[in-house]
Structure 1
């Protein structure tokens, strides 16, 4: 019965997201499967945090969309998420949800919140940071970069990342209160969300500035993540072949989850 209810709820949410053009068809199908597993194998804590990330990130992607349209042409992934992006953002959390169902352990929850704080912080940093009036700086050398360049960071984007991570930590505490006995304080969850979110977001920027696969547009001479730009095929300039945007998101999430686990271990000392 839980699987049926989960499938219905997930289909309703992903269907609405597809209708609102927040998900492609493949993204909606992946989100339906993922949501079903989260709901049936987990509970409010797991499904609720996933929903908070998805709803808040989708809403932000639509905020001042006209201002972001030009920047999105340089990104491998746009505000409308496909199956690869859905799995890159929620696949690791789904694995932890299944592991917790098979072998319950508190550390799974910490790692999960760290992962979701990372993807939320990274999304918020991108969506809000792109609205900054100042050009971003390279996370590696501090030089000014064109808006939308991978590896660029800004004060506004960093603040957005911290707030996004804190939001995930706050909802983790709330859902834990509602779901069962509370054994972790709000302060701990906020600390996990903020630290893990910032670690993951900066890891994303560092990988974006170093190992991520990047191309150069033959027309506008801009560094981009896509194979075609300005109607022309782009030229590879750096990065590892397998280190695309989704791979960067996965590795950043792993580092964010590890940061959350470190906090959990330190709290137990």
Structure 2
């Protein structure tokens, strides 16, 4: 019955997201599978955190500002998530759900909070940071960068990252309680989400500034993530060729999970 409930809930949420154009068709199918596993192999705690990330990030992605279309043209992926983005953001969490189902341990929950705090913090930082009136600065050198540049950070974006991570941590306490689990201390969970999310979000920026694959537009000369820009294919510019945006998300999520786990030993 739990698997049936999970599948039904996943179909409703993913179907609504597809209708609202927050998910592509492949993204919808991946979200249905993922949501089913989160609830079927886990419970309301795991599924609720996934839902909180997805709903909040989808709502923020709909924020409009004058430069959004121009900025999205530089990204490898846009606000409408495909299967690759769905798995990059929720795949590690799904693995932790399954590990907990096979071998229940408290550490899986903290790793999960850190992973989901990271993807939430990173998404919130990107969406809010691009609204900032001042341009971002390089996370490595402090040099002013064009809005939307990989490796750029801003004060509004950093505050948004902190808020997103803290929300995941705080919500995990409530979701553990309503799911029949014995919740850890509220402040501990909130701190795990906050620090895990910030660590993962900053790791994402550092990877973006160093080893993420970046391409160069052959028309305007701008360095972008996208494979096409100004209507033409881009060419490789720098970074590890395999380290695309999805790989960066996965690596930074692992780091965020480890930081949240370390917080649990405080």
TM-score by length of 2: 0.98
1:140-151 aligned at under 5 Å gives the runs 140-151=140-151
Q: Does 1:25 align with 2:25?
A: yes
Partners of 2:245 and 2:176 lie apart in 1 by 32
Aligned match of 1:81: 81
* Deviation, structure 1 residue 176: 1.2
Aligned match of 1:122: 122
- Asked if 1 retains the 8 angstrom alpha-carbon contact of 2:129 and 2:156, the reply is yes
* Deviation, structure 1 residue 67: 3.9
- Asked if 1 retains the 8 angstrom alpha-carbon contact of 2:137 and 2:143, the reply is yes
Partners of 2:135 and 2:254 lie apart in 1 by 29
Partners of 1:64 and 1:161 lie apart in 2 by 19
Partners of 1:192 and 1:108 lie apart in 2 by 13
Aligned match of 1:159: 159
Partners of 1:97 and 1:143 lie apart in 2 by 41
Aligned match of 2:192: 192
Partners of 1:15 and 1:139 lie apart in 2 by 38
Alpha-carbon displacement from aligned partner over 1:213-255 (angstroms, at most 9, x marks no partner): 0011122221100121001121211011110000000000000
RMSD: 1.0
Aligned match of 1:8: 8
Aligned match of 1:39: 39
Comparing 25-34 with 227-236, greater Cα deviation is found at 227-236
Aligned match of 1:223: 223
- Asked if 1 retains the 8 angstrom alpha-carbon contact of 2:213 and 2:225, the reply is yes
Comparing 63-72 with 162-171, greater Cα deviation is found at 63-72
- Asked if 1 retains the 8 angstrom alpha-carbon contact of 2:137 and 2:153, the reply is yes
Aligned match of 1:70: 70
Q: Does 1:177 align with 2:177?
A: yes
* Deviation, structure 1 residue 180: 2.4
Aligned match of 1:201: 201
* Deviation, structure 1 residue 182: 3.4
TM-score by length of 1: 0.97
- Asked if 1 retains the 8 angstrom alpha-carbon contact of 2:173 and 2:183, the reply is no
* Deviation, structure 1 residue 100: 0.5
Partners of 1:101 and 1:4 lie apart in 2 by 17
Alpha-carbon displacement from aligned partner over 1:10-33 (angstroms, at most 9, x marks no partner): 011100000000000000000000
- TM superposition outliers: structure 1 runs of 4+ over 4 Å: none
Alpha-carbon displacement from aligned partner over 1:78-110 (angstroms, at most 9, x marks no partner): 100000000000000000001101111000000
Query: Helix, strand or coil: the match of 2:142?
Result: coil
Q: Structure 1, unaligned stretches of length 5 or more?
A: none
* Deviation, structure 1 residue 181: 4.7
Partners of 1:225 and 1:82 lie apart in 2 by 16
* Deviation, structure 1 residue 65: 5.6
Partners of 1:141 and 1:260 lie apart in 2 by 27
How many residue pairs match? The answer is 266
Comparing 178-187 with 96-105, greater Cα deviation is found at 178-187
Comparing 223-232 with 45-54, greater Cα deviation is found at 223-232
